[in-house]
A and B are shown apart, each in its own frame.
Chain A
Amino acid sequence: MNLAAATNENLANISNVLIYSSMAVYTLAFLAHIAEWTFGSRSKVGRTAAALTTESTSAAAAPAVTVKKAGGTAVLERPKVVTRTASGTRDVPDGPGAHGGTEKGDMYGRIAVSLTVLGFLVEAAGVATRALSVMRAPWGNMYEFSITFSTVAVGAYLLLLALKKNVRWIGLILITTVLLDLGIATKWLYTDSDQLVPALDSYWLWIHVSTAIFCGAIFYLGAVGTLLYLFRDSYESKLQGGGTPGTFASSVLSRLPSAASLDKFSYRINAAVFPLWTFTIIAGAIWAGDAWGRYWGWDPKEVWSFVTWIVYACYLHARATAGWKGRKAAYLALFAFATWLWNYYGVNIFITGKHSYAGV
């Protein structure tokens, strides 16, 4: 064995160690999140219920222009913008987050986020060393897709956090699925680091596969938002209808953002990623034209990409059509993500087509 090959094998081993280490760190982050949710449940969050039951009298209009008398001279504030909700939308404040406003919960939440940052760095290093060990894009088989997938999802989440978006509520679910994804990847999908078969040896691999993984990871965040929206929405309508949700539901759901916020969150994510997903499919078609002599041939992978694309288009249409907003659109969004997942795992594993590169 020559020296270069040995170095590469070393790098591949380092990559494996890093991936396992990131799993360990994520596990700690998972536990910290659990602690956050547990301590958070001790707070009395009656906010949502209050907002929905006592006909928001307290939310009376604030003055548009206020004048503060400071030391005798009138100091004028700039005009404030007053917003009004659409008729038919519930006027509910967002929940306080997993920590429920408790100091201890918040501390554990912060620990969880810090651990997530660490886990992300370790995992990203694992992906990078994997790429270096073969000197190519680390997207040649399903193991590599999976580790990149969770890295991107966590990275996007941390980026949103860094941009001060209200997304910490997603932490626990995200870390749980990241652990699941890495577990499946290391246990069942593992393939030794190696070169690509000639069909995959193209610069389109960089373009098409990287955007595909990226879209999937971001769509995933959107899907989590949608799922939580559905729960939170039933919770809110139950409260609105005068019902009393179970204690567990109240404890967990009251701490989430309002249904309207969750819905908006997932819409924005899905709408923002849709053009990139469109581009991914176009890039794939161009590649197929180079590799197989036809840009579209209804190969199973192509069929399912088409299906996901159409269902996401359906979802966007639903949002623009009056009677289909809200829950119906949310079901479509979940279905859309389910088709994406199936295209990713199901088609690679259960269906043979030209895209049989899963390495499993």
Chain B
Amino acid sequence: MSKTDTAADGTEPAPAPEAADAGEEKDLGSAGSQLSTAPQEDAGGDAPNLPALGVIGWARWFWRQLTSMRVALILLFMLSLGAIPGSLIPQNSVDELKVQDFKEAHTTLTPIYEKLQLFDVYSSVWFSAIYILLFISLIGCIVPRTWQFVGQLRGRPPRAPRRLDRLPAYTTWRTDAEPEQVREEALALLKKRRFRADLAGDAVAAEKGYLREAGNLLFHISLIVMLIAFAAGTLFKSEGGKLITEGDGFANTLTQYDDFKSGNLFDNDSLEPFSFTLDSFEDTYEKSGPEKGTPRIYRAHVTYSEGADGPEKKKAVEVNSPLEVNGAKVHLIGHGYAPVVTVKDGRGETVYHGAVPMLPIDSNVTSTGAIKVADGYRDKNGKKEQLGFNAFFVPTFAGAGKGEMFSQFPAPEYPVLALSAYHGSLGVDSGLPQNVYQLDTKKLKEFKDENGQLFKQRIRPGETMTLPNGAGSITFEKDLKEWASFQISQQPGNGWALIGAGAALVGLIGSLFIQRRRVWVRAVRHADGTTVVEMAGLGRSESPKLPEELGDLAGLLYDKAPGVPEPTEPTESTEPSTPEAVPAEGAEK
């Protein structure tokens, strides 16, 4: 490996503007200034050292700190750390049931966590404080940078520094061409290469890559757009769940929801009016192989109409394909079975007929539920009472005597309903909300079989279980229905969030892939009558291609203003070179 290419690899091709500003101010003058609009770092920015700063002084100091890059960096880091607990501790906003479970399991931790708002990390005071400060900092950073950038666009590229050979990339030669002619050629060349170029004194000053700064500003502004869109979405959103059995329908009003959550500024009148009916639910499963039973298709066929009574339309709602009505989205969340049962009382009259949704407890859709007959039941003596059944449903039963009552397959290949019967009071009048899928047996009495045990039975579609002592009967109808649960959500601001994200991406690409750099060409007449051409380039520290580009430009200009031999001994440079300067072959590849 020769010395030349080690040098090319081992050197930083250009100093960072900060370094240039700090160390070589007198050489470079303003040449390296404002190559980025990044705020200058205060050297000793720890504390204001003036004794009597006053309120305004302190406020200014605080503002300067807040809008410095260093604080932005720290706030960013805190934001990333602050987000972590929310992934390790259950969150109310994600799953309230999990939070309840956690609270019951960890009684000592819970009060501490609650104080620290660790169950609501993303709406907690401290998390909000971090990102609000960050965004104030961001605005405080963007506004002056934008002004500065506009100023740079209006102004001209800074004039050539006195000593061009001090710049990170430099080249020179002598020519017989006239200095004016060289400068004109250089100006034309740089302009052709889409530099903003200007003739000033004995040199041409040129700059390129302004889009980098524009991209960077666009990126940071887009972050604000995204934040506002997200905040608006959170404040105005509504989200609710609804379980619907085949044949049933839903209209989008508050009373129809099973559960409902909304943002702080949500207004009930803003629920989009529409309604839909679940016509049928289609599901298929892997029939064999190691992943037997894995769902392949989940599809809810619905008929919907927009507005109070718009025309009816059909749609198949799938997991990745929601029904959308004017910004309201209906997502398919879950599904299960709803056996249709008929209950007759002691006098033989039908007191209940309907589909009873059961909740799945495993992936083969073993389900549990409760059948409650609250009204109209009389025993054989005509006494009013309530009936309750604990129900267990399996779509595919393993066969009598074969183990537990667990389903073997999620599709209804051999459905069985297992019931145990109770009578008495369901406790529905106590005013407390009751879980429709569970039987509260506190005030219920068991029906007994001949052995004095709880009366229970497994029945297949079409079969009837007759209660003891003529208390009535329950029939598992042949018609097995399925249900689907939907999430109906509305969140304004999605469009803006998407626009913001897209713009952020474009800005980021501009900011990271475009190099901003300056090139100067000086041509002056030497005492011996020849013209000395000097070219130099300055970029940011991450401008690897700068020396290469300068070499390119120099080559083109060299063709227009060919070199002549040095009057003095060869292998001596025209200007006293700095000892640090090392040869390079353009930039590394």
Query: Which residue numbers of A lie inside 8 Å of B, CB to CB?
Result: 1, 47, 58-69, 74, 76, 78-89, 91-94, 96, 101, 163-166, 192, 194-195, 197-199, 201-202, 204, 257-258, 260-261, 264, 267-268, 271-272, 274-275, 278-279, 282, 285-287, 289-300, 303-304, 306-307, 310-311, 313-314, 316-325, 332, 339, 347, 351, 353
Q: Is the pair B584, A82 in contact by a Cβ cutoff of 8 Å?
A: yes
Least CB separation from B553: chain A residue: A81
What CA separation (Å) do A297 and B489 show in the bound complex? 13
Q: Quote the shortest CB–CB distance from A131 to chain B (angstroms).
A: 17
Q: Quote the shortest CB–CB distance from B498 to chain A (angstroms).
A: 7
Q: Is the pair A310, B320 in contact by a Cβ cutoff of 8 Å?
A: no
| Candidates B10, B86, B577; contact of A93 at CB < 8 Å | B10
Q: Quote the shortest CB–CB distance from A319 to chain B (angstroms).
A: 8
Q: Is the pair A67, B168 in contact by a Cβ cutoff of 8 Å?
A: no
Q: Is the pair A92, B173 in contact by a Cβ cutoff of 8 Å?
A: no
Q: Is the pair B174, A65 in contact by a Cβ cutoff of 8 Å?
A: yes
What CA separation (Å) do A201 and B14 show in the bound complex? 49
| Candidates B69, B173, B502; contact of A64 at CB < 8 Å | B173
Tell me which of B104-112, B418-426, B504-512 binds A: B504-512
Q: Is the pair A61, B582 in contact by a Cβ cutoff of 8 Å?
A: yes
What CA separation (Å) do A88 and B487 show in the bound complex? 60
| Candidates A81, A204, A317; contact of B76 at CB < 8 Å | A317
Q: Are A91 and B10 also in contact (CB < 8 A) when A66-B570, A69-B570, A298-B86 are?
A: yes
Per-position 1/0 for B19-43, Cβ under 8 A of A: 1101110000000000010100100
* 24 A–B pairs (Cβ distance < 8 Å), ordered by A: A60-B579, A63-B570, A64-B170, A65-B574, A68-B570, A69-B570, A79-B172, A82-B581, A85-B11, A86-B16, A89-B11, A91-B11, A92-B10, A164-B589, A198-B298, A260-B11, A298-B93, A298-B121, A303-B83, A314-B77, A314-B80, A317-B72, A318-B73, A339-B80
Q: Quote the shortest CB–CB distance from B227 to chain A (angstroms).
A: 12
Write out the residue numbers on chain B whose beta carbons fall within 8 Å of the beta carbon of A198.
295-298, 318-320
What CA separation (Å) do A88 and B24 show in the bound complex? 12
What CA separation (Å) do A136 and B122 show in the bound complex? 36
Q: Is the pair B167, A84 in contact by a Cβ cutoff of 8 Å?
A: yes
Q: Decide yes or no whether B84 CB sits under 8 A from chain A.
A: yes
What CA separation (Å) do A83 and B586 show in the bound complex? 8
Q: Quote the shortest CB–CB distance from B560 to chain A (angstroms).
A: 13
Q: Is the pair A88, B554 in contact by a Cβ cutoff of 8 Å?
A: no
| Candidates A192, A202, A317; contact of B320 at CB < 8 Å | A202
What CA separation (Å) do A314 and B80 show in the bound complex? 9
| Candidates A47, A61, A93; contact of B573 at CB < 8 Å | A61
Q: Are A194 and B554 also in contact (CB < 8 A) when A65-B563, A66-B570 are?
A: no
Could you tell me the dominant secondary structure of chain B's interface residues? mixed
Q: Is the pair A294, B239 in contact by a Cβ cutoff of 8 Å?
A: yes
| Candidates A47, A76, A289; contact of B565 at CB < 8 Å | A76
Given contacts A47-B6, A285-B501, 8 further A-B contacts (CB under 8 A): A61-B582, A68-B570, A80-B583, A81-B170, A198-B295, A267-B542, A289-B494, A351-B88
Write out the residue numbers on chain A whose beta carbons fall within 8 Å of the beta carbon of B291.
192, 194-195
Write out the residue numbers on chain A whose beta carbons fall within 8 Å of the beta carbon of B230.
296
Write out the residue numbers on chain B whose beta carbons fall within 8 Å of the beta carbon of A303.
83-84, 86-87
Q: Is the pair B581, A61 in contact by a Cβ cutoff of 8 Å?
A: yes
Write out the residue numbers on chain A whose beta carbons fall within 8 Å of the beta carbon of B573.
61, 63-65
Q: Is the pair A67, B566 in contact by a Cβ cutoff of 8 Å?
A: yes
Q: Decide yes or no whether B416 CB sits under 8 A from chain A.
A: no
Q: Are A79 and B583 also in contact (CB < 8 A) when A96-B1, A285-B501 are?
A: no
Q: Are A307 and B83 also in contact (CB < 8 A) when A81-B169, A282-B501 are?
A: yes
Q: Are A321 and B73 also in contact (CB < 8 A) when A85-B12, A91-B582, A290-B322 are?
A: yes
Write out the residue numbers on chain B whose beta carbons fall within 8 Å of the beta carbon of A82.
165, 169-171, 577, 581-584
Q: Decide yes or no whether B571 CB sits under 8 A from chain A.
A: yes
What CA separation (Å) do A267 and B512 show in the bound complex? 11
Q: Decide yes or no whether B415 CB sits under 8 A from chain A.
A: no
Number of A-B contacts (CB under 8 A): 300
Q: Decide yes or no whether B249 CB sits under 8 A from chain A.
A: no
Q: Quote the shortest CB–CB distance from A189 to chain B (angstroms).
A: 15
Least CB separation from B579: chain A residue: A60
Q: Decide yes or no whether B96 CB sits under 8 A from chain A.
A: no
Q: Decide yes or no whether B290 CB sits under 8 A from chain A.
A: yes
Q: Is the pair B547, A83 in contact by a Cβ cutoff of 8 Å?
A: yes
Q: Which bracket fits the contact residues of B?
A: 35 or more
What CA separation (Å) do A62 and B5 show in the bound complex? 13
Q: Are A166 and B588 also in contact (CB < 8 A) when A92-B10, A285-B501, A321-B70 are?
A: yes
Write out the residue numbers on chain B whose beta carbons fall within 8 Å of the beta carbon of A76.
562-565
Write out the residue numbers on chain B whose beta carbons fall within 8 Å of the beta carbon of A60.
579
Q: Which 5 A-B pairs have the closest CB atoms?
A: A93-B6, A86-B15, A61-B577, A62-B583, A303-B87
Q: Quote the shortest CB–CB distance from B114 to chain A (angstroms).
A: 18
Q: Decide yes or no whether B161 CB sits under 8 A from chain A.
A: no
Write out the residue numbers on chain A whose beta carbons fall within 8 Å of the beta carbon of B70.
321, 323-324
What CA separation (Å) do A296 and B121 show in the bound complex? 15
Q: Are A306 and B554 also in contact (CB < 8 A) when A61-B577, A93-B10, A163-B589 are?
A: no
| Candidates B15, B19, B286, B565; contact of A67 at CB < 8 Å | B565
Per-position 1/0 for B162-195, Cβ under 8 A of A: 0001111111111000000000000000000000
Q: Decide yes or no whether B157 CB sits under 8 A from chain A.
A: no
Q: Is the pair A298, B91 in contact by a Cβ cutoff of 8 Å?
A: yes
Write out the residue numbers on chain A whose beta carbons fall within 8 Å of the beta carbon of B319.
198-199, 201, 291
Least CB separation from B582: chain A residue: A59
What CA separation (Å) do A191 and B18 show in the bound complex? 53
Write out the residue numbers on chain B whose beta carbons fall within 8 Å of the beta carbon of A299.
94
Q: Decide yes or no whether B551 CB sits under 8 A from chain A.
A: yes
What CA separation (Å) do A258 and B12 show in the bound complex? 11
Q: Is the pair B83, A310 in contact by a Cβ cutoff of 8 Å?
A: yes
Write out the residue numbers on chain A whose beta carbons fall within 8 Å of the beta carbon of B268.
none
What CA separation (Å) do A286 and B122 show in the bound complex? 20
What CA separation (Å) do A108 and B577 show in the bound complex? 43
Q: Decide yes or no whether B497 CB sits under 8 A from chain A.
A: yes
Q: Is the pair A79, B93 in contact by a Cβ cutoff of 8 Å?
A: no
Q: Quote the shortest CB–CB distance from B65 to chain A (angstroms).
A: 14
Write out the residue numbers on chain B whose beta carbons fall within 8 Å of the beta carbon of A91.
7, 10-11, 580, 582
Q: Quote the shortest CB–CB distance from B518 to chain A (angstroms).
A: 15
| Candidates A59, A199, A306; contact of B7 at CB < 8 Å | A59
What CA separation (Å) do A274 and B554 show in the bound complex? 34
Q: Is the pair A66, B321 in contact by a Cβ cutoff of 8 Å?
A: no
| Candidates B77, B512, B562, B571; contact of A271 at CB < 8 Å | B512
Q: Quote the shortest CB–CB distance from A281 to chain B (angstroms).
A: 9
Write out the residue numbers on chain B whose beta carbons fall within 8 Å of the beta carbon of A321.
38, 41, 69-70, 73
Q: Is the pair A307, B80 in contact by a Cβ cutoff of 8 Å?
A: yes
Q: Quote the shortest CB–CB distance from A49 to chain B (angstroms).
A: 14
What CA separation (Å) do A80 and B582 show in the bound complex? 11
Write out the residue numbers on chain A whose beta carbons fall within 8 Å of the beta carbon of B13.
83
Write out the residue numbers on chain B whose beta carbons fall within 8 Å of the beta carbon of A319.
542
Write out the residue numbers on chain B whose beta carbons fall within 8 Å of the beta carbon of A291.
319-320, 331
